[in-house]
Structure 1
Amino acid sequence: MHRRAFIASGLTALLAADAARAVSPRGPAFDPVVVRTRADVMPGELHVLPSAYMLYWTMPGGTAMRYRCGVGRPGLYESGEFFVGAKKEWPSWTPTPEMIERDPAAYKQYEDGMPGGVDNPLGARALYLFEPGRGDTFLRIHGTNAPNTIGSAVSNGCARIINDEIVDLYERVPLKARVVLHPKTI
């Protein structure tokens, strides 16, 4: 097994065990909370566990901040390793050509973009995911103006958390931070 895949699968198992203890898709059980990790988990990384709808910001001392998230719909979620290449407050949003092609009734009206604000689907903040050699992947970890979508797979590939939580996460995560979007396991 490739070393990175082995490390990622071990971290997935570690963090998934925490996510399995949560019993309700809504409410205080999913408020951001500090959880324990193995001491050897590298601090300063984001990990999304799509099957558990959890996002972790790893911190020193074997801890992580856990956030409940929403993820991409089947066929649109892209696992892999990325880095935060840009950060924006109240970002503007433009649907990709693929989004417009998939659902022109929903997205064609925004092909020239939508300014940032409370009605914008990227919410209050966005972390832009990049890959070396590829640049911007058009994947984001962002806020949402639809908090009822947290804990579900409804997006066009991005991970989302509620606006208050993305403001908190945005302050914690520096540019160039490593991001792992783990494969779906269910």
Structure 2
Amino acid sequence: MNQMMPSRRGFIKGSALMSFGLLAACSTRTKPTLPDPGLSSPFEVMYGPMPEEQFPLPAIDLSKINKKFLRQEVAYATNEKVGTLVVDTQNFFLYLVGENGRAIRYGVGLGRAGFEWSGRAVVARKAVWPTWTPPEEMIARQPELEKWSWQNGGMPPGLNNPLGARALYIYQNGKDTLYRLHGTAEVWSIGRAVSSGCVRMLNQDIIDLHRRVPPQTPIVVI
């Protein structure tokens, strides 16, 4: 698979990275972060601080992650239609399918739940700085999490919330699969299998993806 360094032009001239004609359905009030002319790498701009967020995000230390897991435009041969999300659990990548055999590729980390479900579904809803509610099975293993149960309202959003800055909730045939795409501050976990959770992405990446995909976006997990 040939890779390209991330381009701020995107797939359509004059657009940011890629536009699939879907963004009109997915608006955001978040102001874009202006590039710092002192930064030497496009990745440093992409993963720089986001002080405008409800909970300001620090810059990501890029020395703690393999560069192949950073967001970039790549060649991607697939029969999936433009705008589809494809989670490759074997290689720890998520693809947002674009036009002309291209895609935006993101690195992901996977927990047990990330390996337990596969198939086709849709992004039924999206959340900005979501509340986290641990599943009953997790509470059974870790009783100290009972205080964040759904009966108690869950864990409030914030930098320490396991779902991070954004979450995409995956439903199949109208039912919640309990499968999530969400943010994380644990940079080291990208490209790895971790103890818990579904599909985790760097906070800057899940924010980018959240902007790009509207509700009912199809997702394929392989």
RMSD: 2.3
Question: Which deviates further from its counterpart, 32-41 or 172-181?
Answer: 32-41
| Greater strand proportion | 1
| Greater helix proportion | 1
Distance 1:48 1:117 in 2: 26
Distance 1:36 1:75 in 2: 25
Distance 2:134 2:2 in 1: 34
- What is the aligned length? 159
Question: Alignment partner for residue 213 of structure 2, among 169, 173, 178?
Answer: 173
When residues 62 and 148 of structure 1 are mapped into structure 2, their CA distance, relative to the original with a 3 A threshold, is: same
When residues 151 and 39 of structure 1 are mapped into structure 2, their CA distance, relative to the original with a 3 A threshold, is: closer
Question: Which deviates further from its counterpart, 72-81 or 85-94?
Answer: 72-81
Distance 2:81 2:133 in 1: 34
Structure 1 unaligned spans of 5+: 1-16, 20-24
Question: Which deviates further from its counterpart, 145-154 or 44-53?
Answer: 145-154
Which has the larger Rg?
Answer: 2
Give the 5 Å matches for 1:146-161: 146-161=186-201
Question: Alignment partner for residue 129 of structure 2, among 68, 90, 115?
Answer: 90
Q: Work out whether residues 74 and 153 of structure 1, in 8 Å CA contact, stay in contact via their aligned partners in 2.
A: no
Distance 2:217 2:121 in 1: 8
Query: 2:163: which partner in 1?
Result: 122
Query: 1:44: which partner in 2?
Result: 83
Q: Deviations over 1:68-126 (max 9, x none)?
A: 10012289531121100000000000001112123334x33322310111111100000
**TM-score between both structures, scaled by the size of structure 1:** 0.77
Q: Work out whether residues 117 and 123 of structure 1, in 8 Å CA contact, stay in contact via their aligned partners in 2.
A: yes
**TM-score between both structures, scaled by the size of structure 2:** 0.65
When residues 157 and 27 of structure 1 are mapped into structure 2, their CA distance, relative to the original with a 3 A threshold, is: closer
Question: Alignment partner for residue 92 of structure 2, among 41, 48, 53?
Answer: 53
Give the 5 Å matches for 1:12-23: none
Q: Deviations over 1:135-167 (max 9, x none)?
A: 222211010122221111115351010001111
Structure 2 unaligned spans of 5+: 4-63
When residues 157 and 118 of structure 1 are mapped into structure 2, their CA distance, relative to the original with a 3 A threshold, is: closer
Distance 1:75 1:48 in 2: 10
User: How far is the alpha carbon of 1:59 from its aligned partner?
Assistant: 1.1
Calculate percent identity across the aligned residue pairs. 41
